[in-house]
Amino acid sequence: MSTTTRPEHGATRSTGPRPVALLLPGQGAQHVRMAAGLYPDEPLFTAVLDEVFEMLGEEGTRLRADWLSACPAVPIDHVTRAQPLLFAVDYALSRLVLSWGVRPVALLGHSMGELVAATLAGVFGLRDAVGVVRDRVRRALDAPPGGMLAVAASPGEVEPHLRDGVVIGAINAPRQTVLAGAEGPLRTVEAALGAQEISCRRVPSLTAFHSPVLAPANEGAERLFGALAMAEPNTTIYSGYTASPLRPEEATDPAFWARQPVDPVLFWPALEALLGDGDFLLVEAGPGQGLAQLARRHPAVRARRSAVVSLLPARPGPPEADRASVCAARDALVAEGTCPVCLPRDVDIL
């Protein structure tokens, strides 16, 4: 990606194309055969996925087989499948968007998506990033059984119900809070919320990411990052851990990256920081449309100052649905004027 600076604060809607910001989803967005309809019909997407699988060695061969299968041998929500596949699919889809001539000025990732953002922005080389994914998977396997729970309530409303190490793992929207913790205590909290008629549902995760449950297994992770060559980002990353643009000293701090599996994700505050800096075309480059749905709740999008495009369908479907969705997304980017192809601006991208 080309070098860019932080978008000017307070920018207003112009008559030209809005700058692009990529949204990169993480744990919970995965599903069986996510984006597999593009393989092998999209050559660049296929080549990038194959490169990641090759870097993973024999495990990459098994990972590819489970990804392409309607009945994977290892469940897609298992950490050995969800984490590396989310990284690979997000990264390959982002590279596909770049191949169209789109040059994002900002990146915002959720959980694993922030590692993808850092790889796109040149903080990590691809091989090093894949090594980080492998290390995170290994450490998560050493953690006690746990899970995550999406709650239709504000952090203040759920806090009285937290107990026994269950914590707020993510703030996704003003009334969408994700809890994380060990399996037993999380079930107790889930029952308590249900008794109060507070709507909640399990996040597809067999691991209590973004909670102290992972802290013991995560000890020593900083040494891995300390051995990597890290560079300042060449594209602005709005961090889901600081809720602000990532400073160069943060981007190259091993401790910052090592803490991420344990620290809470502040997606909504980070989105507010991004949209507070101007009007954007937000492009979700990952499975599903979870981040796009969250972004559509933001006042800047509801007022149509900013807009949202998703590369893939909202729900799993046949291969042709993946291909049609990517084509529609590209048409929307062309209509906005962000692709170097001139077509009439008559596509509704909200």
Q: Could you report the average pLDDT of every consecutive run of 10 residues in the chain (350 residues)?
A: 45 72 97 97 97 97 98 97 98 97 97 98 98 97 96 96 97 97 97 95 95 96 96 98 98 98 98 98 98 98 98 96 97 91 41
CB 243 within 8 Å of CB 273: yes
Residue 10 has what pLDDT? 39
Residue 76 has what pLDDT? 96
Tokens of 227: 């051995």
Q: From residue 323, give the alpha-carbon distance in Å to each of 68, 223, 272, 281.
A: 15, 41, 31, 21
Rounded Cα distance, 92 and 151, in Å: 31
Residue 339 has what pLDDT? 83
Walk me through the domains of the chain, giving residue ranges and CATH numbers. 20-141+212-336 (3.40.366.10), 146-203 (3.30.70.250)
